[in-house]
Structure 1
Amino acid sequence: MTDYAIYDVFTGTALAGNPLAVVFGADHYSDAQMQAIAREFNLSETVFVLTPENPAHSARLRIFTTARELPFAGHPTVGAAIAVAGRRLGGEVPANGMDMVQMLEEAIGPVRCAVRISPDGAGFAEFDLPRLSRQLEAEIAPADIGVALGLDPHEIGFENHRVSLWSAGVPFVLVPVHDLAAAAKAECSAAEWERVAPMGDGHLAFAYVYCRGGVNHTSSFHARMFAPGDGMPEDPATGSAAAALSGAIHHFDGLTEGNHALVIEQGVEMGRPSLIHLHIDCAGTEVSHVRIGGKAVRVAEGKLLV
């Protein structure tokens, strides 16, 4: 029997955010078994915690959607970091909380995470991007993207933000829209998206719709993510998309030297509001460092009998 837990990630409130299955002690599972277990949980992602290859590291992670393995993803990194830290403490959390630093091995490379475990049960984790966002070459027709997402041409784009393809390990077509109403209107046709979406890093890019502001007054951007080809009609919180967006924000907004602290809200239209913290550090005119963080809360636990 193998222990597992379900966490709601990028939220401090149960039954909000993005649910994640965390399977502990998963060294004995084959690739096929991990994929089958991910399909069984039927969540956007399931993360398997294995013994690290480097004994100085905290854990090795393998991340699966219901359709395939991912080299990197944000909400599994945040959720697994908090889950691994909580197990290490064995539930004995000091009254003032506990801070720790973890190094997690993912297919994309080592990922450094700072974790804070709170006695109220919600944790917070922030990780350094293992790979900075970069723009990928692609021929993208905004009109075709609009048809696939049910958006009119005048609703796409704001200020100097334009449709573009970016990746920090997972590729996304970033689709800026005029306002919250346009974002709420978006609906992704799986057939149309497969027809018009470009490839990036060897995979069909996902759709990430965003605009400035948000329902929450602290939000810098409001976002929605669609990945119908991976069994996700819509995802309530996507750290890898926020990672990709960091490059576009720097490119289109011309960020200046220093730290830029942003908050991205997602999942509002799904009734699972999420808040993703994004920090972009610039040295001169270039991005030098990016961090993504958020809360997570455990909502269930159990044992796999396979």
Structure 2
Amino acid sequence: MSDRRSLKFYQADVFTGDAFGGNPVAVFPNAHGLSDHQLQQIAREMNLSETVFVLPPTDQAAVVRLRIFTPTQELPFAGHPVLGTFFVLAQLGLVAATEGITRVMQECNIGLFPVELHAREGELIRVVMTQPKPEFLGPVDDMEDVYKIASSLGLPKHAVADMKWPIEVVSTGLPVLIVPVRSLTAVRSIQPDASAIMDVCHRFGANGIMVFTTVTVEPSATVHARMFAPSIGILEDPATGSASGALGAYLVQNGVVEVAPTTDIVVEQGYEIERPSQILVRIESDDDIIKTV
């Protein structure tokens, strides 16, 4: 007797208004009954940055439980997969999105987090998620380490050394090494060395390296960024929600942007791999203390 099972899935491009832009995610709305091994096999077969499996929640406060996989491993938390999944679920009528703002809780492997569904005239126009409070896990001070980071990106030392902002590990759920780079030209010229980046990430306890410059392609953007995470099976990610949250917190914490009680930051990403994306990050702060991302 065959144990085959037919599963529907949907693919959504997140952080873009155009087809073939943004970051694609595969969403399986009914993944109940699959083993961990099967989930990982399916994610490897999909071969996208992330694949999301929707399950019944274990906590009654949540509407769904999400398990998020890269082609090589499960992630405790991620950004664009959550946003894309709730867009798909709302379109399918599996999560209600009433006029105005609907606030629901989602369960993932690091706990419960709110998601907002913004609807206008019967159409879902935006999905917003709250990330864990930022943790600033320490700057990179040793110049030898700075040079290794530059080398892993195929950049000369001067492209990242002597910047007025630190190279620092920041986490809003997943730790990422934030690296300021001098120019847009330098960022666009990066030639990532996957093995060297994995070594750097292992040394600093990070899931990936996010580089940024304040020189942008689009006038509406605040920063231009690229994200490299070969240690979790993603050489370059076209649009990274979790890392953009960490980057936004970094920009506010280090005074890279003008800070207000509510600071909006637009991260442009994915241009170098022909998947242009724009990610809106909102930082709420009070007396120089970041409250929410």
Q: Give the TM-score of the pair, scaled to structure 1.
A: 0.85
* Deviation string, structure 1 residues 196-230 (Cα, Å, up to 9, x no partner): 33456xx5531111011311111001000011222
Q: Does 1:72 align with 2:74?
A: no
Q: 2:181 aligns with which of 177, 180, 192?
A: 177
Q: Please name the residue that 2:51 is paired with.
A: 46
Q: Please name the residue that 1:221 is paired with.
A: 223
Q: Does 1:142 align with 2:149?
A: no
Q: Does 1:279 align with 2:282?
A: yes
Contact 2:284-2:291 within 8 A present in 1 as well: yes
Give the counterpart letter for 2:280 in structure 1.
H
Deviation of the 1:133 alpha carbon: 3.6
Measured in 1, the distance between the counterparts of 2:84 and 2:161 equals 33
Measured in 2, the distance between the counterparts of 1:137 and 1:157 equals 13
Structure 2's unaligned 5+ residue stretches are: 1-5
Measured in 2, the distance between the counterparts of 1:115 and 1:213 equals 32
* Deviation string, structure 1 residues 85-137 (Cα, Å, up to 9, x no partner): 222269x999xx76422211111211111113568987421111133243247
Deviation of the 1:276 alpha carbon: 0.5
Contact 1:22-1:83 within 8 A present in 2 as well: yes
Contact 1:257-1:282 within 8 A present in 2 as well: yes
Q: 1:118 to 1:64 in 2, by over 3 A?
A: farther
Contact 2:117-2:124 within 8 A present in 1 as well: no
Q: 1:236 aligns with which of 235, 238, 256?
A: 238
Q: Secondary structure at the match of 1:37?
A: helix
Range 236-245 or range 52-61, more displaced: 52-61
Q: 1:261 to 1:158 in 2, by over 3 A?
A: farther
Q: Secondary structure at the match of 1:11?
A: coil
Contact 1:93-1:118 within 8 A present in 2 as well: no
RMSD: 2.5
Q: Does 1:160 align with 2:164?
A: yes
Q: Secondary structure at the match of 1:253?
A: coil
Q: Please name the residue that 1:266 is paired with.
A: 269
Q: 1:9 aligns with which of 8, 11, 14?
A: 14
Q: Secondary structure at the match of 1:2?
A: coil
Q: Please name the residue that 2:109 is paired with.
A: 107
Contact 1:264-1:276 within 8 A present in 2 as well: yes
| Count of residue correspondences | 285
Range 131-140 or range 66-75, more displaced: 131-140
Q: 1:106 to 1:250 in 2, by over 3 A?
A: same
Structure 1's unaligned 5+ residue stretches are: 291-306
Q: Please name the residue that 2:3 is paired with.
A: none
Q: 1:116 to 1:247 in 2, by over 3 A?
A: closer
Q: 1:3 to 1:14 in 2, by over 3 A?
A: same
Deviation of the 1:19 alpha carbon: 0.5
Contact 2:248-2:265 within 8 A present in 1 as well: no
Q: 1:58 to 1:175 in 2, by over 3 A?
A: same
Measured in 1, the distance between the counterparts of 2:206 and 2:243 equals 14
Measured in 1, the distance between the counterparts of 2:93 and 2:177 equals 38
Measured in 2, the distance between the counterparts of 1:149 and 1:265 equals 19
Measured in 2, the distance between the counterparts of 1:284 and 1:35 equals 44
> Which structure carries more strand by proportion?
1
Q: Secondary structure at the match of 1:193?
A: helix
Q: 1:248 aligns with which of 247, 250, 253?
A: 250
Contact 2:131-2:173 within 8 A present in 1 as well: no
Q: 1:282 to 1:56 in 2, by over 3 A?
A: closer
Q: Give the TM-score of the pair, scaled to structure 2.
A: 0.89
